[in-house]
Amino acid sequence: MTALVLALFLIKEEFPFSNFPMYSNISEEADVTFVTDQNDKPIAMKPLFKTSSGTSKKMFKKELGTLTQKSDRDSDTATPQERAQAGKAVLDSLVTRLIHKAVPPGTTALRFHVRTFRAGVSADDSPSEKLAEYTLPAS
């Protein structure tokens, strides 16, 4: 036992002896960002922008962090206006990559949403929050 403790002390944080602290405190909530049409029907992001929902979530979190950092706050305390501003910045960035031929027929607008799922709360009880909207030019 003494030899094992000594060996692990000397090895420290080397694979496969790592302790993975990132999994020791899993959050009670998870956010998802997505894009919908003007009727709030979700649209697949990969064919539309060549990027995924996960990437847009990272963009949103970064933008929100930048906005709240100006007033020395955490992004968890962002106001609805700051969330909308961050959402608009992300949607504006996505629209620059828009592949027009991938837009579903009849789509006149794109909306950027975020939805937070909380542990122990029904998915029906956590509606999405529309953060930004972009009206597509008539074709």
Report yes or no on 97 lying in a domain.
yes
Per the structure, how many domains does the chain have? 1
- Name residue 115's beta-bridge partners: 32
pLDDT band at residue 7, thresholds of 50, 70 and 90? Answer: confident
Domain region containing 130: 27-135
Report yes or no on 14 lying in a domain.
no
Report yes or no on 34 lying in a domain.
yes
The three-class DSSP label of residue 84 is: helix
CA dihedral 58, 101, 107, 84 (to 10 degrees): 20
Report yes or no on 69 lying in a domain.
yes
Tokens 């998802």, located at residue: 32
Q: What is the pLDDT of residues 46-103, one digit of tens each?
A: 999 999 999 999 999 999 999 999 888 888 888 999 999 999 999 999 999 999 999 9
- Name residue 129's beta-bridge partners: 114
User: How would you classify the pairing of strands 42-43 and 129-135?
Assistant: unpaired
Report yes or no on 1 lying in a domain.
no
What mean pLDDT value characterizes the chain?
Answer: 87
User: How many Å apart are CA 97 and CA 80, to the nearest integer?
Assistant: 26
Report yes or no on 108 lying in a domain.
yes
User: How many Å apart are CA 21 and CA 127, to the nearest integer?
Assistant: 31
